[in-house]
Structures are given as structure tokens and as C-alpha cells.
Amino acid sequence: MAPSASTRLLLLTLGAAAATACTEAEGGAIELSWKLRALAGALPDDAACATADVSAIRLWWQVDDQRASTSWPCPDNRAATAFVVPPGQASIWVQPECLTGLAGEATYEAPPPIVRTIRAGDVTSLDAVVIAVQIADCDNQPCICR
């Protein structure tokens, strides 16, 4: 007994939906978590971003001559990119952002660029990244986001 026309239509629709629902990733993704610490002075764990006036954390990557970035709200403390990072050897680094733009390089210390191999469809983890920010003695030296 052959399936009815409505059954064939249902099977065709389900097959088409399944075929288009899964697409192969062309790039890889990067996941990380971050924590702000004070270079000098205290920074409360539960309000570190607000105390330092850091609004976002920007993740940069460069593969060959392609450089790109994305950012997330600082209080999120962890994030992952979409599968948009080109496959290959990637140089990856983070930079804090203020409401007015990127933080000045003299106002924080972050790990140097990390090199990882990015593979299409894979997630590369940076684990935890600690960013030390200058928030004390601001009359005598530049402080972050001020």
C-alpha cells in the first residue's frame, strides 16, 4: 500500500526541514571567561566591571591577514563567538572597553596574544583570562576608563 498524498507531503516537508536545519560551519568559534583584578587597590568581585567603569570585553583574532573582533558586556564574565573565526593559526587577545571606546593600553595588563589552531566547526577555549586594571592613584597615572 502506497502512502497517501498528505503523508508524502509531510515526509517531504520534514526531509526538507531537516536538510536545511543543519549547515556545516565554515569557521571555528572561541570561548573564554574573564575576570578583572586591580593592579593596585581593591576591586570587588561582584562589581568589578562597574567599579572600574569597564563596559565590555573585546576579543580580537587574526588569521593570516584577516583581523576581526567581537565584544560582550563586561559583567557577563564569559562568552563565545559564533562560528565565524577563519580556520588556521589564530593570534587571539582581549582588550577592555569603556563607554567611550577601547581602554588605553597604559591602563591595564592583559595576557599577550595567544596562538591557537582554529578548525571549522570546533570551539577553541581560552579558559580564564585575567585582566589587571589601573584604578588607584589616578592623579599620578592614567586609570582605566577615566
pLDDT for 8 beyond 90: no
b (16+ CB within 10 A) / e for 27-37: bbbbebbbebe
Closest among 98, 88, 72, 71 to 122, alpha carbons compared: 88
Can you tell me the mean pLDDT for 67-79?
A: 98
Residue found under cell 581560552: 126
pLDDT digits (tens, 9 = 90+) for 80-131: 999 999 999 999 999 999 999 999 999 999 999 999 999 999 999 998 999 9
Phi, then psi, of 36 in degrees rounded to 5:
-90, 140
Please report, for residues 2, 4, 7, 23, 24, the alpha-carbon distance to residue 12 in angstroms, rounded to integers and kept in the order given: 15, 12, 9, 18, 22
